[in-house]
A and B are shown apart, each in its own frame.
Chain A
């Protein structure tokens, strides 16, 4: 049936997924591919969960009888009160009846959770039951009227205009559970193997018929009265449904965790100055009538039980041996129609819930609406922001019509009142919207309280400190796990926190496909801490890191990661990678890392608040309160007693839990409420009381502002001291600089001297150069002179040579002449002269040989002289 609904939805709105959320156009194709996988997975997990719940719903049954054994008559009376109504209409709506029965079973089981609580709680439970009966009746009426058609369509909310939207949502809830019952019962009947179911339902029916009751008429009459009286209010305000009994086991386990958390908070508070107990003590002497308002006792008992719990922590772990099994189921995903209730069970909504708290917050709201001037500036700001954001939360979602947005508005306003240290922060609108799609309004409120106050404590406050701390922690983990990827991102200039910041803050809402978001939330809410945030982010990095490493600029890297993350349709792969791949990332490890990085963030925040004074809007106060809460500084202690003097029960400036306590206390204080016969009177009285509370609150705020101004003063003084220190330092620096300047001057003078000396030397060298140049000129001159002389010499030599040649030729001529004469002499006629001529040629030959030798000598000489001459010329 669920599937047919889904198909219907799909057919109607092809651009929306099975949850009614818009699918981005670029993802429609991929989404279509995954729809069938999702369907298969869903079937598989429904089956698994059914088996699991059948197995573990039973062990709690004995407790039921135990309770019966304990003669808590009043409790039984309340149970009986409930019974007759379903029986009346038994024939017409069998399913309804059995559901009513289940309701009773829940009651009973609720009682088993604590016997002590049970005793005192009974009265409050009675009222609770009335309310429940009222809503149930409304439900039944419509069921009768519109028969089963209603349950065919989840989105038929608009059609049932007559029943207010509130009831319609209730109806949806009821329809959902009915569907399951219907689906379950036949299948088990057909399936002979699944016989476990049969005796279960059989015994239920038995127990129902076993209890005939005489008082039922009067009871139901009274109920109707109450209902009528409260009707307007109930219809508008009260939207509370219990989880189905099969989930009780889980609920119990998680409740103990929620209580533990609370308990720890109380202990912290006590450490910080023992104020809370003193407040309580101060209140206790006040008149306590018989009709003592239950809540007070309830609180006392609860706190005393918490002490026990603290002692029994270890035993609790062993008390739930199937926790691991459940864990693996959760990793596989929670079935759609169980999700709302399972989440509530995980967060421990039942343990957190305080009767009428939500209503009172809303009443406060409407009251202040009447006197607009009353609401404080901060609150008005939140209100405006909420109004701005309402239409921007899942726009176009079929379930978030006008009525849906009204619930969203109420829910967010109530939360802002509940925890002023957070107020309203963008992102919460998405969480609240998501929760409203899965559960009734008040259930959603308490779930949101659990998520923001505990799981994400300090995340969405004015300074968002823990959120910043987590980013630093995540970056460290990234560096440790994916050093290469981080190196690449560093290289591109991309900071991991740019991308992971929005992931964490939105808990992946709008960042991943819805199927994946819900699967992550399943695990996150089950684990009850932020480990899953880190694991999922790391898993995404593991899946997409390889692709990221290939990017070449910052823009591309971020775009790629965004689009890849946005198309992570394989939710099972993601969740399994996250849960199995990063087991070393544990809460303890994260806490250590947070402690390591927190001081840096706090320092920056402190800096910001200092300079941001002008723009503060009690913002500084918030941050201070935050650091007080974490440092438990002395100023907190100053603040508190002052308030106590002013009036004992103002503690709303404190943390959220005390805010809650305050309300309880104020309710306790005025136990007359209960004794007032007339509801109108009660309302009046409540108004007066509210007025008083508001005045007190204003007084406290004033006081806080005073304190803050005092703080500002102190901070300023601090600044002055710092400034004077700085001035001194600067003066010192100036002196140093002057000294340095003097030194520099001396150095300069010395340098000048050196320079002058250098110049002188330069001049000297210049002179020397000039001298050498003159020398060189002189030498050159000498060379030319020599050259001339040489040329002259050469010329004379040439003349001489000519002369020699002439002489030679003359000599030869003479020789020839002589030889001619000698021939003539050799005739007889000349013989007489023979002797003398013989002598004379010999003499002449002697002169000739001398002349020739000299000539030869002269011929070789000029060559040599020329070469040497050239050389010497070059040298000069």
Chain B
């Protein structure tokens, strides 16, 4: 399944947006709030990942082209009873929309860079985004490299090892997911949540 990189099984509960109310206001050590931006080539499934994560849906009949960017938020709870509210910006994939991307990745605490394991081109594009973020993103940004459409492994064209290697070289977290089967989608966000810098509890 997805061949995630040496990730132990995780079982953090999920709160489906229930504690938005108690989460509002200034974030503290227990209630984190983070801006997350999704980047990647067109059609790799960025919106699908978000919809799967936030709404638990995957509907191939209602996929719509993202123009500019779209926003969704979701809160999860970790085992140590911290909650993390993700403010997710899902950006448009077409190359020229890259001109608008800085607007969305500026100030983001997390960047999720997605490629399609059946498309080497999208993997190249993912590398472009990594470089762009290394140059222009905030220096302490948490980056995750995500190979989506893991369910289509028979059409795989990007070997898992390539993803692992590239992620390792760039100090990123790597995972393969499938928005269609929901594989590793929650793990992805939980793992990100764990890697977030905590405000020092003074």
Contacts and interface: CB of A to CB of B under 8 A. Distances in A.
Same complex for A and B? Answer yes
Interface of A: 22, 381, 385, 388-389, 391-393, 395-396, 425-427, 429-430, 460-464, 467-468, 471, 493, 495, 497-499, 501-503, 505-506, 509-510, 552-556, 558-559, 562, 605, 608, 611, 615, 617, 619
A467 to B, nearest CB: 8
A615 B98 CA distance: 12
10 contacts: A392-B63, A464-B96, A464-B100, A498-B89, A501-B69, A553-B24, A555-B87, A562-B70, A615-B128, A617-B95
Nearest to B68: A502
B65 A430 contact: yes
B166 interface: no
A22 B61 CA distance: 11
A615 B129 CA distance: 11
Interface in B73-101: 73, 85, 87, 89, 92-97, 99-100
B107 A493 contact: yes
Contact of A505 (B25, B67, B85): B67
B36 to A, nearest CB: 10
Given A464-B99, A498-B69, A554-B87, A388 B64 contact: no
A562 B88 CA distance: 13
B64 A555 contact: no
A462 B61 CA distance: 29
The binding surface of chain B is classed by DSSP as mixed
Nearest to B27: A553
B33 interface: yes
Contacts of B66: 426
A554 B63 CA distance: 26
Contact of A388 (B43, B68, B89): B43
Contact of B103 (A381, A396, A495): A495
B30 interface: no
Interface string B133-146: 00100000000000
A399 to B, nearest CB: 16
Contacts of A562: 70-71
B58 interface: no
Contact size range, B: 35 or more
B63 A395 contact: yes
B189 interface: no
Given A426-B42, A426-B97, A493-B107, A505 B20 contact: no
A396 B85 contact: no
A580 to B, nearest CB: 28
A493 B93 CA distance: 24
A468 B68 contact: no
A388 B42 contact: yes
Contact of A559 (B61, B71, B103): B71
B87 A426 contact: no
Nearest to B59: A395
A468 B135 CA distance: 21
Contacts of B42: 385, 388-389, 426
A430 B72 CA distance: 22
Contact of A510 (B35, B67, B87, B103): B67
Interface in B25-61: 25, 33, 35, 42-43, 61
B62 interface: yes
Given A468-B99, A552-B24, 6 more contacts: A385-B42, A395-B64, A426-B42, A468-B100, A562-B71, A608-B99
- Max chain B C-beta neighbours (<10 A), residue from A395, A553, A554, A556: A553
B73 to A, nearest CB: 4
A464 B71 contact: no
Contact of B99 (A463, A497, A503): A463
A559 B92 contact: no
A843 B89 CA distance: 130
B70 A392 contact: no
B97 A464 contact: yes
Given A426-B92, A463-B96, A555-B85, A502 B70 contact: yes
A463 B71 CA distance: 23
B94 to A, nearest CB: 5
Contacts of A461: 96
Contacts of B73: 555-556, 558-559
Contacts of B64: 392-393, 395, 510
A553 B33 contact: yes
A605 B96 CA distance: 11
Contacts of A501: 68-69, 100, 103
A559 B17 CA distance: 12
The 5 A-B pairs with the shortest beta carbon distances in the complex, nearest first, are A502-B68, A555-B87, A555-B73, A552-B24, A506-B67
Nearest to B72: A559
Contacts of B99: 463-464, 468, 605, 608
A430 B61 CA distance: 16
A429 B85 CA distance: 34
B24 A392 contact: no
Contact of A555 (B33, B65, B100): B33
Given A553-B25, A555-B87, A426 B94 contact: yes
A556 B20 contact: yes
A771 B73 CA distance: 79
Nearest to B75: A555
Contacts of B61: 395-396
Interface in B90-126: 92-97, 99-100, 103-104, 107
Contacts of B96: 425, 460-464, 619
A425 B85 CA distance: 33
Nearest to A422: B96
Contacts of A552: 24-25
Nearest to B73: A555
Given A385-B42, A468-B100, A493-B107, A558 B71 contact: yes
A40 B93 CA distance: 41
A818 B93 CA distance: 142
A429 to B, nearest CB: 6
Given A426-B94, A501-B103, A559-B71, A393 B65 contact: yes
Nearest to A497: B103
Given A392-B63, A395-B62, A505-B67, A556 B24 contact: yes
Contacts of A388: 42-43
A525 B71 CA distance: 29
Contacts of A554: 35, 87
Nearest to B43: A388
Contacts of A615: 128
A290 B38 CA distance: 63
Contacts of A497: 103
A22 B62 CA distance: 9
B159 to A, nearest CB: 23
Nearest to B88: A555
A498 B62 contact: no
